[in-house]
Every structure is written in structure tokens, then in C-alpha cells.
Amino acid sequence: MSNKTFHIQTFGCAMNEHDSETIAGLLSEMGYESTEQKKEASVAIINTCSVRDNADKRFFGTLGQLKKIKEMNPDFTVCVCGCMMQQQHVIDTVKQKYPWVDIIFGTHNIHQFPKLLESVLGEKQKMVDVWDDGGDIVEGLPVKRQFAHKALVNIMFGCNNFCTYCIVPYTRGRERSRHSEEILAEVRELVRDGVQEITLLGQNVNSYQGDVDFAGLIRKLNEVEGLERIRFMTSHPKDISEELIRAYQDCHKLCNHIHLPVQAGSNRVLERMNRKYTREHYLDLIRKFRETRPDIAITTDIIVGFPGETEEDFQDTLSLVREVEYDSAFTFLYSVRKGTPAEKYEDQVPEDIKHERFNRLVDLMNELSLKKNKALEGQVASVLVEGTSKTKEDTLTGRTEGFKTVNFKGPKDIIGTIVPVRITEGKTFNLEGIFIEK
Ligand code: SAH
Ligand code: SF4
Ligand code: F3S
């Protein structure tokens, strides 16, 4: 085949983004080049997410579009993978309603994709290969990174927590951690390649248990010469250790930010969610983080309208949000997931009440984000410059340690470096600044 190009569309979290980087790496090794245009690709891959119903819907919408391309070009190979494919009912639907899909694979056998693709191309037949669980971690897969100066690094896979609303434990299998030496070797290689900032990835990074624990891993990474910034996503409040809080004191490369999903402010709801911590414990953690790093940025995830949530429970969420004064939050409407315990709960909250609460929470969050961002006006932030702004060609954009986007004017040759920027205006969703030349 002469045209060897691929197009990947990714839904979902950073874990999926990174899996797509691996798929791109594998395809590049096979001699494929990436293209922005689906129509021009010889291989299209959709990497799916199943965390909420709207992600499912968007996937089926996208598949519908691909059908038209397939009709015009029978050699167009369509592959679907990711979390949705780890559910039998989804595979059944794809096979029934979209029989022209060529390859279905899962989250646990990405490394086998080249073999699947070769046999499908050679034998002109369809292929479904999805594994139930992860088995041993496959090291050394090629990665084609999206960004030159920051990189995603898996440290653990899977989740053992079974929060009652969540599909992830069913799509990503049980927890497995990489050996710290493998992680360190990867990070050193990334740094040699120009990476300044790494984000350690896992569904529950702070339950990482390789040859060292999570705080131990951070301490080792903090020693890597040339590495400037360490972030991680996502941590679970029940597994925040005293050692991790101490690491914030000692490890200066650890960014001044923690994303700590709270999900709800009511103990009754937290219990029914199987979160295994209380509001009081969570607030105590926040206090300890702030004692250690007084100006740490704190962000969170919140679900509104979990089954049985009363107005009083929701008020507990609002009051917790006010008390913590988050820098920002991802807020979600509860979405029923097939096969999870909460699907069976009979006291589902009516849609209109969910939406009304959601809007109140978003209003409060926006008020707090604006307040937090305004408080930064006049301060100098260190910013990793990521590129030019999507909307204004002459404006650069980057992130502070606190994970806030800053837009400012400056020369293009500072892209990929960490520079001082004076914050001139704090807005609800980002900051404006002035580049301070040395
Ligand atoms: N492992 C991470 C995040 C997993 S999914 C963690 O535990 O923090 C990211 C977020 O999606 C979750 O934090 C939760 O807020 C949200 N989420 C997960 N399942 C959901 C559901 N069924 N409905 C609405 N939001 C959900
Ligand atoms: Fe889902 Fe809970 Fe695991 Fe996060 S910790 S992935 S919310 S089950
Ligand atoms: Fe979605 Fe799977 Fe991530 S369900 S949020 S892509 S782990």
C-alpha cells in the first residue's frame, strides 16, 4: 500500500491521551505518518472513553462520520479501542450496527496493535481482540509525544477502588505499578530529549507501590538533573500520606499544585460513593497542604446529582467548596454507568434538579476562580511557555506551576523554556501577563 498515513481521535483522560501517543509511536515504527485529515488517512483510530454517557454518544457520532469515508474508500481501515471496548455490550453494539469496523482492541493489548493491523491488512478480515485484564506491564513501547517540552509518564495502571459510580475499574483492570528504575530511565531519556516537565499518570497515583512508594518515587525524580517540574494525576484523598506532604516540603521540582478530587461534600454521599474518607479528613488534608505550601493551588473533581443526593447534601458540597476556596474544579453531572453499583440505586436524582444544582455549583466555582486569579495580579509567576495562543498568533501561552494558563506577548524563541511573567490581570479561566526580560 502506498499511502501509509494515520489519524487518531482521542476521547477521555490523560491516560487515553498517552495511550494514543503510544499508538502513534507504534504506527510510526511501522512506517506510517500522521495526518490531521481523517479523509486522507489510510488508517483511522478512535480511542474511546466511557466515563460518562456523553463520551459514549460522541463516539457513536464519530463512527457514523467514518462510515461515509469507508463507503468512498474501501481500503480505509477503521480501528476502535479504549475504555468503551472493554465492555462486552459496546463490542456487541459495534459489531451489530457498525459491521464495517475493521479492528476492535482494548486498553490492555495496545502493544499488539501492529500485529492486529498487519494481519487485518494482509487477510482482509475483521478482528476483535480485547483482554479482560492487564497482565504484566509491557515496557519500552515507542511513544510519539504531542508536546516537545512536557511529557506524560505512566507510573501505575488500573484502579482497585470501585467508587460506586465509576466505570474505570472495569475498563482498566487492577492496579499494577512500574518499577521505579524503569520510570527513572524513561524520565532521564525524556530530559535528554528536551523535556522540562513531566506529569506522572495513574488512576490513583498515590497508591503507587513499586519498589518504593509514591513519595519515594517523587524524591528520586526530584534528583533527576535537568528536569524542572513534576506533576501528577490523579491522587485519591484516602491515600495521601504524611510522606507525600513532606515531599512537598523537600522537593522543589514538585509543582505548587495538587488536584485532589473530592466528588462530594456530604459524608452520607461520600459513603455511598465508596470514597473511604470523610469531609473532615479531606479538609484536614487541605489544611496540611496549605501549612506546607501556603500558596499551593488546589483543584478538584465534583459530581452533582449522585443517587440519593438531597438539597442538604448538595449544600454540604457548596459549603466545602467555599471552605477550601478551590482554584478551579471539573464539575460533572452524575451519569449512570452500566455495570456499576450505583446503576442499581433506586433514588436517582431527576435531571432538572441535577442541572439546577450543577448551575449553582458552576456559578460558585467561577466566583472563586476569579477571586483566586485576581489575587495573583502583580505577582511574578514562572511560566513554562507552551506555544502561541490558538486565537491570537502574536500571543504566547503557557502554564504556571499552579496549572493556570497565562497569555502574554513575547518572542517565539522562548517557547519551551520556563520564564518569569508578571501577572497583570486575573480572569475566571486564565491570566494575562507581561514577559519579564532578563
Ligand atoms: N481516577 C481519578 C479520576 C477518574 S475519572 C480519580 O479517582 O480521581 C475523572 C472524574 O470523572 C472523576 O473524578 C469523577 O469526578 C468523574 N466521574 C467518574 N464517573 C462518573 C460518573 N459516572 N458520572 C459523572 N462523573 C463521573
Ligand atoms: Fe474511578 Fe474511583 Fe478509581 Fe477514580 S478512584 S478511577 S473515581 S473508581
Ligand atoms: Fe475515560 Fe477510560 Fe480515562 S473511561 S476517563 S478514558 S480511564
Domain contains 367: no
User: What is the per-residue pLDDT for 2?
Assistant: 55
Output the CA–CA distances (angstroms, integers) from residue 183 to 194, 210, 227, in the order listed.
17, 10, 13
Residue found under cell 475499574? 169
Q: Is residue 125 part of a domain?
A: yes
Asked if residue 309 is part of any domain, the answer here is no
- Print pLDDT tens along the chain (438 aa): 458 999 999 999 999 999 999 999 999 999 999 999 998 999 999 999 999 999 889 999 999 889 999 999 988 999 999 999 999 999 999 999 999 999 999 999 999 999 999 999 998 788 899 998 887 899 999 999 999 999 999 999 999 999 999 999 999 999 999 999 999 999 999 999 999 999 999 999 999 999 999 999 999 999 999 999 999 999 999 999 999 999 999 999 999 999 999 999 999 999 999 999 999 999 999 999 999 999 999 999 999 999 999 999 999 999 999 999 999 999 999 999 999 999 999 999 999 999 999 999 999 999 999 999 999 999 999 999 999 988 888 899 999 999 999 999 999 999 999 999 999 999 999 999 999 987
Neighbours of 266 (CB within 10 A): 23
Phi, psi of 25 (to 5 degrees): -65, -45
pLDDT computed for residue 134 by the predictor: 80
CA of 138 to the centre of ligand 2 (A): 23
Cα of 292 vs centre of ligand 1, distance in Å, is 27
Pocket lining for ligand 1, CB < 6 angstroms: 51-52, 165-166, 168, 203-204, 234, 236, 261, 263, 301, 303, 332, 334-335, 337
- Name every residue whose Cβ is closer than 8 Å to that of residue 127 and which is 6 or more positions away in sequence: 102, 103, 104, 105, 116, 119, 120
What pLDDT, on a 0 to 100 scale, did the predictor assign at position 438?
75
Q: Which CATH number covers residue 423?
A: 2.40.50
Q: Which residue puts its alpha carbon closest to atom 12 of ligand 1?
A: 301
Q: How far is the CA of 290 from the centre of ligand 2 (A)?
A: 25
Atom number, ligand 1, closest to the C-alpha of residue 233: 2
Instruction: Kindly state whether residue 196 falls inside one of the protein's structural domains.
Output: no
Q: How many domains is the chain built from?
A: 2
Residue located nearest, by CA, to atom 3 of ligand 3: 13
**What ligand 2 atom has the least distance to the C-alpha of 204?**
5
**Closest ligand relative to 202 C-alpha:** 1
pLDDT score, position 15: 96
Backbone angles phi, psi at 201, to 5 degrees: -110, 140
Give the pLDDT score at 125. Answer: 83
In the chain the first and final C-alpha atoms are separated, in Å, by 53
Q: What is the pLDDT of residue 132?
A: 87
Domain membership flag for residue 397: yes
Query: How much is the pTM?
Result: 0.95
pLDDT of residue 133: 84
pLDDT value of residue 391: 82
Q: Is 204 in the pocket of ligand 2 (CB under 6 A)?
A: yes
Helix 311-324 vs helix 279-292: crossing angle, to nearest 10? 10
Residue 255 located in a structural domain: no
Q: What is the pLDDT of residue 1?
A: 46
Residue 258 beta carbon below 6 angstroms from any ligand 2 atom: no
Contacts of 52 (CB under 8 A, 6+ apart): 332, 333, 335, 337
CATH number of the CATH domain containing 87? 3.40.50.12160
E-assigned strand segments in 4-59: 5-10, 33-34, 43-48
Query: Of the candidates 82, 102, 129, which is a domain's last residue?
Result: 129
CA of 172, closest atom in ligand 3? 7
Centre of ligand 1 to C-alpha 357, Å, is 18
Nearest CA to 326 among 423, 253, 260, 264?
260
In a domain, 344, yes or no: no
Ligand 2 centroid–CA 421 distance in Å is 36
Q: Which of 110, 129, 148 is a domain's end point?
A: 129
> How many angstroms is it from 390 CA to the middle of ligand 1?
28
Q: Is 52 in the pocket of ligand 2 (CB under 6 A)?
A: no
Residue 169 Cβ inside 6 Å of ligand 2? The answer reads yes
Rounded-to-integer distance, Cα 337 and Cα 86, Å:
13
Report phi then psi at 239, rounded to 5. Answer: -110, 15
Domain boundary among 70, 101, 129: 129
Geometric angle at alpha carbon 143, from 139 and 146, rounded to 5°:
145
Question: What is the domain range of residue 406?
Answer: 380-435
Answer yes or no: is 247 within a domain. no
**Nearest residue CA, atom 7 of ligand 3?**
168
